[in-house]
């Protein structure tokens, strides 16, 4: 299914704009599209007239160009005719915000709408959804602009069955500096399901990671989903709800009793290397790391720190999650020691974790990182730094970001997150080094990479 025109529109029509009720969802969407995005916006109301000096078109027939995106917030019974009109006027696709379909038992109307769209290969999102949010390009959310947080542009695409969860995730991702390429709320997912969107986003050059919030699948849809997600060549991260649903029927076999819906879901995702996040915190950390390093790692981690406590704590989290902290060979230790600044050469502890002490300079971190990332016994490097340590500078992150090295061996940082050290943190983030705000979060990121594979 080709969503190109509707997700990158130059013209947008909003159907259902009211001349009397300016708080109508269609009015909110129209106002936003008209004022905030560089697209041509058209308001449609079958009665015509005008709204605040803007013409209200009676239908798409009156609009002088084929529009790329039609946002529909009209009553459900009008939708079949509206779709016919979209198709006749060569529109690029539709977001169907309107409710009143399968979610209230009106399967027949939903099927009718789908069959009209399918026949004409006309892409649409919904019904019963918030629709799409493409930062800087367009959005169909009927939340007023002033109530929205600024969303950071980036390379994570969000696809969500729930519009509310989608907006929440967008805000939280942005608060953690994880940028969004597109966010799509699929509602009843009558035609555009997770599967079609994964297929589309898999080819979208702006998207590196696909994050999904899933409530459940229809019959056998899970099988198709797994096939799409495991063959799209991009990390797919899933947050699931409805885990606690208890089967109603009595079960007559051990297998039926033990293989409940959620266990099956979770096991099969892991089987196909689709990364399941347990909660929003994991979701954010997983997406951040996989957007920097879309690949898998082995179990052996090198830890570099300047605080013994942080090193010990990271070792615990690593072992809890099944990672090894192998010893560093004496030969490698010697190599590192030669490169260290005189102030710490005799006090740094060079086993694993490496503790460079509070007197370490930026150059000591860089030297240690370079040597350890050249050591084949390690699969990834964890750096735990404290921005208030007197001898390091705010440029540490930028200095440590070496694209060719990172490509060979992933490198993740933890640092305490406070407003005072934002520039220090951004030195990592802006240079594509994932930074966690807790030690566990950094280890979580390692786990996300390890899970991104069949297991």
Return the H-helix or E-strand segment holding 138: strand 138-139
The dihedral sign for the CA sequence 72, 97, 55, 3: negative
Sequential DSSP letters for 56-105: EESSGGGSSS--SEEEE-S-GGGHHHHHHHHHHTT---EEE----SGGGT
CA distance 347 to 337: 10
**Least CB distance to another protein at residue 268 (A):** 5
Write 373-378 long-range contacts (CB < 8 A, 24+): 373/405, 373/408, 373/409, 373/411, 375/302, 375/328, 375/329, 375/332, 377/300, 377/326, 377/329, 378/300, 378/301, 378/302, 378/326, 378/409
Compare residues 271 and 393 and give the one whose CB is closer to another protein: 271
Compare residues 15 and 198 and give the one whose CB is closer to another protein: 198
| Token pair recorded at residue 91 | 């529109």
**Least CB distance to another protein at residue 247 (A):** 10
CA distance 189 to 92: 18
**Least CB distance to another protein at residue 28 (A):** 36
**Least CB distance to another protein at residue 220 (A):** 5
Compare residues 38 and 252 and give the one whose CB is closer to another protein: 252
| Token pair recorded at residue 307 | 């605080």
Compare residues 63 and 214 and give the one whose CB is closer to another protein: 214
**Least CB distance to another protein at residue 16 (A):** 35
**Least CB distance to another protein at residue 194 (A):** 12
Instruction: Tell me the helices (H) and strands (E) count for the chain, helix number first.
Output: 18, 19
**Least CB distance to another protein at residue 265 (A):** 7
Residue 452 backbone zone (phi > 0: left; psi -120 to 50: alpha; other: beta): beta
Compare residues 176 and 265 and give the one whose CB is closer to another protein: 265
Compare residues 251 and 423 and give the one whose CB is closer to another protein: 251
Compare residues 35 and 250 and give the one whose CB is closer to another protein: 250
Compare residues 64 and 322 and give the one whose CB is closer to another protein: 322
Residue ranges binding another protein (CB under 8 A)? 216-223, 226, 251-259, 261, 263-265, 267-268, 271-272, 454-455
CA distance 407 to 425: 21
**Cβ-based burial of 140 (10 A; exposed 0-12, middle 13-18, buried ≥19):** buried
Q: What is the DSSP letter of 232?
A: S
Compare residues 68 and 194 and give the one whose CB is closer to another protein: 194
Nearest CA among 423, 401, 443, 124 for reference residue 314 = 443
**Least CB distance to another protein at residue 102 (A):** 17
- Helix/strand/coil for 332: helix
**Least CB distance to another protein at residue 223 (A):** 5
């Amino acid at each position: 299914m080709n969503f190109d025109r509707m997700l990158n529109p130059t013209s947008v029509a909003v159907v259902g704009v009211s001349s009397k009720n300016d708080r109508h969802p269609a009015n909110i969407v129209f106002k936003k599209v008209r004022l905030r995005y560089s697209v041509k916006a058209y308001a449609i109301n079958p009665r015509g007239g005008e709204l605040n000096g803007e013409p209200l078109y009676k239908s798409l027939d009156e609009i002088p160009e084929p529009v790329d995106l039609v946002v529909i917030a009209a009553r459900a019974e009008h939708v079949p005719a509206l779709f016919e009109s979209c198709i006749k006027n060569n529109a690029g696709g539709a977001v169907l915000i309107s409710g009143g379909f399968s979610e209230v038992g009106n399967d027949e109307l939903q099927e009718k709408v789908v069959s009209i769209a399918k026949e004409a290969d006309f892409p649409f999102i919904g019904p019963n959804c918030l629709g799409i949010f493409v930062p800087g390009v367009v959005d169909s959310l009927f939340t007023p602009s002033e109530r929205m947080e600024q969303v950071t542009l980036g390379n994570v695409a969000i696809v969500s069955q729930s519009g509310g969860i989608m907006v929440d995730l967008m805000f939280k991702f942005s608060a953690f500096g994880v940028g969004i390429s597109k966010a799509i709320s699929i509602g009843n997912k009558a035609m555009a399901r997770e599967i079609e969107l994964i297929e589309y986003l898999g080819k979208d050059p702006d998207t590196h990671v696909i994050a999904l919030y899933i409530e459940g699948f229809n019959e056998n849809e899970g099988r198709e989903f797994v096939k799409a997600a495991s063959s799209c060549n991009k990390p797919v991260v899933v947050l699931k709800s409805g885990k606690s649903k208890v089967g109603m029927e009595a079960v007559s076999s051990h297998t039926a009793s033990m293989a409940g819906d959620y266990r099956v879901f979770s096991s099969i995702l892991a089987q196909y290397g689709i990364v399941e996040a347990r909660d929003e915190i994991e979701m954010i950390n997983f997406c951040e790391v996989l957007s920097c390093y879309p690949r898998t790692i082995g179990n052996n981690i090198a830890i570099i720190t300047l605080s013994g406590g942080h090193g010990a704590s990271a070792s615990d989290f690593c072992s809890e999650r099944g990672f090894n902290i192998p010893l560093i060979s004496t030969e490698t230790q010697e190599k590192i020691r030669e490169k260290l600044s005189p102030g710490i050469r005799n006090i740094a502890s060079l086993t694993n974790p490496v503790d460079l002490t509070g007197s370490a300079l930026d150059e000591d971190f860089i030297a240690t990182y370079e040597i350890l990332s050249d050591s084949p016994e390690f699969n990834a490097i964890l750096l735990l730094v404290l921005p208030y340590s007197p001898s390091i500078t705010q440029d540490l992150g930028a200095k440590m970001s070496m694209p060719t090295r990172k490509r060979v061996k992933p490198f993740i940082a933890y640092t305490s997150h406070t407003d005072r050290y934002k520039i220090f943190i951004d030195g990592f983030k802006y240079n594509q080094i994932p930074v966690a705000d807790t030690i566990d979060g950094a280890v979580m990121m390692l786990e996300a990479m390890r899970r991104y594979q069949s297991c």
